[in-house]
Each structure stands twice: as C-alpha cells, then as structure tokens.
Amino acid sequence: MRLSPPARCIAVTGFMATGKTTVGRLIAEKLGLDFVDTDELVEANAGRTIPAIFEEDGEAHFRDLESAALRQALGRRGRVVSTGGGMLLRDENVAELRAAGPIVCLTAAPEEILERVAGDEGRPLLNVDDPAGRIARLLRDRAEAYARADYHVDTTGLTQEQVADRLIDALAGDPRARWLCGSRTRVPVQVEGGEYDILVGSGVIDKLGDAWPAPECGRRAAIVTTDTIGPLYAERVAAALRDGGWRPTVVEVPDGEASKSLEVFGEVCDAFADAGLDRGSTVFALGGGVVGDLAGFAAATYMRGIDLVHVPTSLLAQVDSSIGGKTAIDIGAGKNLVGAFHQPRAVFTDIDVLSTLPDAEIRSGLGEIIKHACCFDAEMFAFLSERPHVFAEDDRAAREYLVARNCQIKAEVVAADPLEQGVRAVLNYGHTVGHALERGAREWGLRHGEVVAAGIVAESRLAVELGVSDDETAARQERVIAAMGLPTSVSGVDVERAREALLRDKKIVNGRLRMPLVPEIGRYVIVERVDIETVADAMLTVLD
C-alpha cells in the first residue's frame, strides 16, 4: 500500500439522532484529537439556537451558516468534526469534507430514530403532525447524499462505545486516516537472502524489547551510541531490551565523523569482546548516520558477522542511511572507502526523538526527503510545498507519514538493487554535485541536507540544459527547497577543490556520468553519458 499524506480531519455525519456528536467526541477522546461540532459552532457564531434560526430566517439561511461553520471547523488539523444531518446536501460541503479526510456516515432504523427523538423539541424539521412520516421522507430524500460518505455504520442496537470502536478499527486501515489513529507503520524491506521490517511510530524505543525480544533470556547485546545521544536515550533503550530478555552493554563513541575511523572501529570491536558478545549476539545502532555506519561495519566484521538492528535518532538516518545495508568507515584517502553491505535484521524508528534535534539536524535530513519527492512522489512533493515547515510543527501524524513514506521509497529501491548495481543510482539525485560541494567546503562546513539541496538545484538546471526537463519543473524544485529553509546556493566553497572532487567522482567513465534527472515532479530518468564538464558548469550556478 502506497502511503498517502495524513488527513486533516475525520468527519462524522449522518441523520439526526444517530449519535454523531457523542460518537465523534468518543473517537476524538480515544485518539487524542480535538473535537468540534458544527451545530455548536453555528449557534455560537449566530448567538441563537438552531430552532430560532430556522424560525426567524428559514432553512436556507441555516444551511449558509452551516457551510461557513464547516469551513471554520476544518481550518485546523487533527480534529474530529461532527456535522449536522444535512451537511452532505450541498456539493461544496462534500468537496470540503473530502479534501480534509474520510467522511463517516452514521445511520439507524427509522423506528429507532423516532424513539431517540421522542420529546426532543430541538428538532425543527420534526415539528410536524407526522414525525414518523417526515423521518421516512427525509431519509429517502437524503439517501443519495449519505451514500457519498466513505464509511457507513448502522448504529441500530449498538452502544455509542461500540460504534466508536468499530469506526476506529475501520479508519486505522484508511491510507489517510491511519495517521490520526495512532497506528504504527510497518514498512517491509525485501532483499536478496532475507527480509526485514522498518517500524515507524511514536514511543517505539520504549517497546523495543517487546518488538525484538531476545531468542533466549540473557542473550548478550551491544548498544553502540555517541556521547551526545547516549545520555538522552541509551538507558531507555537498555531498559527496554532488558525487559525483552537481553543483557545489553552500552558502547559510547565520540560524536562526529571522526569516530568513523579504524582506531575507533578497533575500540568498538574490543568493547564487544570485553562484553562477551558472540556469534549469537546483536548490535543495536542507536544514533545517526555515523553510528549506523560504524556499528554496522563492526557488526558486519566482528566474528565474521553478527546481527544488526538500527535505532536511528536523526532525521537523515531515519529516512536514508539506516535503510539499505551500507556500512563504512573513513580512511585517510577519503570517506566510506572501507565498508561492507550488511543488512539489518530490523529498523526501529521513533519519531518522538526528532523533537530533541536542533533545527540544523532536521535540515540535514530534509534534502533526502525532497530528493525522494522529486523523483518518486508528486503527492508528497505537493504536501511539502503546502507545509514547508512541517517538522517545526507539533504534528506527529505528519512526521510519521513523511518518515514512513520516505522509508517506503528507499526500501523499494533497495529491494530492486541491494548491491547498488543498477536502479539504486536514482538515489544519487542531487548528490553528484552535492558531494563535490561538500568536499569543497572548508572543514566539512556544509551539512548533508544543505549540499543535497543545492545539488538538486544544480542538477535540475542541468536537466533543463540537456532538454530533459523544463524551466517550471526546475523552478518548483528550487521553490520548495527555499521554502523549507535549505539553500539554493552555497558560499564558502573552494571552487577548484569542489571541481577537483567532481572530476574524481567514482561514477565517471571516460569523462562521462550516468545520472538520474527529473523530467517532471514525481518521475525520474537515468541519463547516460553526461559530459562531466557540463555537470561542472551546472555546479557553478549554485556557488556564491
């Protein structure tokens, strides 16, 4: 199932006396969402009761007020909105509701509706001599309108609690509403020789022992982390693993790229041996990309290979580096020149840890998210364009969607090309120029997301130059990058050093590159034999 952006709201509608308000409140309470009733908004805005509005101004005026109240109710995200029974009678209301999220319609047998409204004088449509006949006629008249809802529940004979639970179960499987229902997302990864899952959600690390219990009580494990991440999360992860029967040891390394060295690698392996790890042990990589690379390479080589589980804590690691099995350390000649492919047994991604990241770390991961949107998902690109500051908002549903959808994209590419021999080249979009800019910056002065963003701008312009794309497609990419706070050009880069790095790109064959480019948002093509000098010219356009 392709993951879609989260709904803004869940709408509960239907005929009078079917329990819309009570059930809506129950759903909101169970899911931790806000609740709003459009009838209550109408009365609050008008300063009169609905019966008074009907009596003084007529039904048509009430319907106008109702439509205005609906737009007001849908203006904020993360709500359950209960509407009046006639809300679906207007096409514009249906369009507003459908754009916001799933529409739930409650129904009941006519005789039960009549029983529920007995003695209720606040029903102006039933102030007639034959309320039973009016109910039957209204139900017939509205049948076509109610059929436009996404979900229908007959409340006859059910308690309101039962109705709410049934709706939550149904909505949890809805591609848009599932995010509001708090369900964790499982993304399968299928690679040659096995498969594993990425679990994305809130509070994942505290349930790590339940999700990944030890094969037998007392099995040894190592939690490799940094002196920055360790104080925040290492003991929580260790406690969760102990609950799952593991006997964990925390191995801390200094924060930063310098830890991806032969020296630190040796110290980590020594720590494994001192802790008694054997071939049945597991390494848990708790941290960002540096920890994932280092711990992954240690797991790949210690005792000729032991199990690895990623617990990524940076946005970049969550959406990119923890997926795909690439591990490496640096040597004097360059980054990631010593490494191995070693697929993890599982990846556990807790979106709550993103709240502790500084803005600069969030931006470091945004470049990969934008890259995936440009190449694979026009719907996600539109979502980012609409909400460029989404990671600054306290919106768990949106965060989970973006992390999970990017995991899904990366997983699909990795499954198709686990050893980076073919289609996986598309993941280099923005990276050919980006890596050159990174090497040209003084003392790694640019973050990964910044160089990828600038690289996307340069390579989108290259696509226009080569006739692969058009100006508007390139401009749209540049606009979303700028809106999300990433640079469309960079300064402080030694041009000659960046050019030299570009000319040494390991993908060059006879002065030409095989490059992914974007002809239109959401689609990529692999262009063969791109002249490296043309790429260098494109790089110059993003240098200040």
Pull the structure tokens for residue 540.
């110059």
For the range 95-98, what are the long-range contacts, defined as Cβ-Cβ under 8 Å and sequence gap of 24 or more? Answer: 96/70, 96/71, 97/11, 97/13, 97/70
Whole-angstrom distance, CA of residue 178 vs CA of residue 406: 17
Which residues face 350 on adjacent strands?
201
Sign for the pseudo-dihedral over CA of 495, 501, 503, 507: negative
Who wins on pLDDT, 182 or 519? 519
Lowest mean pLDDT among 288-302, 455-469, 501-515: 501-515
| Residue whose token pair is 């709500």 | 79
Query: Given a cut of 90, is residue 73 above it in pLDDT?
Result: yes
The stretch 65-70 carries a mean pLDDT of 96
* Cβ burial 26-61 (10 Å sphere, 16+ → b, else e): bbbebbebebbbbbebbbeebebebbebbeeeeeee
Give 143's contacts (C-beta < 8 A, 6+ positions apart).
Answer: none
Query: Given a cut of 90, is residue 504 above it in pLDDT?
Result: no
Residue 375 within any structural domain of the chain: no
Residue 320 DSSP class: I
Give the 3-state secondary structure of residue 400: helix
- Same domain membership, residue 44 and residue 154: yes
Residue 231 DSSP class: I
The stretch 178-193 carries a mean pLDDT of 85
Whole-angstrom distance, CA of residue 128 vs CA of residue 134: 8
Total residues belonging to the chain: 544
In percent, the amount of the chain with pLDDT more than 90 equals 76
- Same domain membership, residue 229 and residue 141: no
Amino acid 128: pLDDT: 81
Cα 208 → chain centroid:
20
- Same domain membership, residue 431 and residue 531: yes
Whole-angstrom distance, CA of residue 307 vs CA of residue 185: 23
Of 341, 357, 373, the one marking the end of a domain is 357
Q: Pseudo-torsion of CA 527, 533, 534, 538, nearest 10°?
A: 110
Amino acid 6: pLDDT: 93
Per-residue HEC secondary structure of 345-360 comes to CEEEEEHHHHHHCCHH
- Same domain membership, residue 344 and residue 208: yes
The stretch 496-504 carries a mean pLDDT of 89
Give 417's contacts (C-beta < 8 A, 6+ positions apart).
Answer: 423, 424
Who wins on pLDDT, 25 or 504? 25
Whole-angstrom distance, CA of residue 53 vs CA of residue 57: 5
Domain harbouring 298, CATH code: 3.40.50.1970
Give the 3-state secondary structure of residue 460: helix
pTM of this structure: 0.86
| Residues annotated as catalytic (active site), given as ranges | 304, 326, 368, 410, 420, 424, 428, 431, 435, 448
Of 340, 357, 374, the one marking the end of a domain is 357
Residue 233 within any structural domain of the chain: yes
pLDDT class for 420, splitting at 50, 70, 90? low
Whole-angstrom distance, CA of residue 414 vs CA of residue 424: 7
Rg of the chain (C-alpha set): 28
- Same domain membership, residue 254 and residue 352: yes
Residue 245 within any structural domain of the chain: yes
Who wins on pLDDT, 194 or 168? 168
- Same domain membership, residue 14 and residue 134: yes
Which has the closest alpha carbon to 234: 244, 243, 222, 223? 223
pLDDT class for 8, splitting at 50, 70, 90? very high
Whole-angstrom distance, CA of residue 272 vs CA of residue 278: 8
- Same domain membership, residue 223 and residue 255: yes
Residue 25 within any structural domain of the chain: yes
Whole-angstrom distance, CA of residue 38 vs CA of residue 279: 61
- Same domain membership, residue 311 and residue 206: yes
Query: Given a cut of 90, is residue 536 above it in pLDDT?
Result: yes
Lowest mean pLDDT among 108-112, 125-129, 313-317, 473-477: 125-129
pLDDT class for 444, splitting at 50, 70, 90? low
Amino acid 37: pLDDT: 96
In percent, the amount of the chain with pLDDT more than 70 equals 98
C-alpha count within 13 angstroms, C-beta hemisphere, residue 195: 10
Whole-angstrom distance, CA of residue 463 vs CA of residue 474: 8
Quote the mean pLDDT of the chain.
92
Which has the closest alpha carbon to 263: 209, 338, 203, 200? 338
pLDDT class for 507, splitting at 50, 70, 90? confident
Residue 448 within any structural domain of the chain: yes
Give the 3-state secondary structure of residue 186: strand
Query: Given a cut of 90, is residue 385 above it in pLDDT?
Result: yes
CB atoms within 10 A of CB 511: 11
Query: Given a cut of 70, is residue 193 above it in pLDDT?
Result: no
Of 179, 213, 243, the one marking the end of a domain is 179
Amino acid 121: pLDDT: 66
Backbone angles phi, psi at 36, to 5 degrees: -145, 140
Lowest mean pLDDT among 17-26, 40-49, 428-437, 504-513: 504-513
- Same domain membership, residue 145 and residue 116: yes
Query: Given a cut of 70, is residue 522 above it in pLDDT?
Result: yes
Residue 490 DSSP class: B
Residue 328 near residue 339 (C-beta atoms within 8 A): yes
pLDDT class for 508, splitting at 50, 70, 90? confident
Whole-angstrom distance, CA of residue 24 vs CA of residue 158: 15
Residue 399 within any structural domain of the chain: no
Question: What's the number of domains the chain is made of?
Answer: 3
Domain harbouring 518, CATH code: 1.20.1090.10
Per-residue HEC secondary structure of 133-161 comes to HHHHHHHHHHHHHHCCCCEEEECCCCCHH
Amino acid 408: pLDDT: 96
Which residues span the domain enclosing 309? 185-357
Query: Given a cut of 90, is residue 82 above it in pLDDT?
Result: yes
Amino acid 172: pLDDT: 87
H-type alpha helices, 197-308: 208-211, 235-243, 262-274, 289-301
CB atoms within 10 A of CB 179: 26
> Tens digits of per-residue pLDDT, 323-359?
989 999 998 877 788 999 999 999 999 999 998 899 8
Amino acid 243: pLDDT: 96
- Same domain membership, residue 217 and residue 315: yes
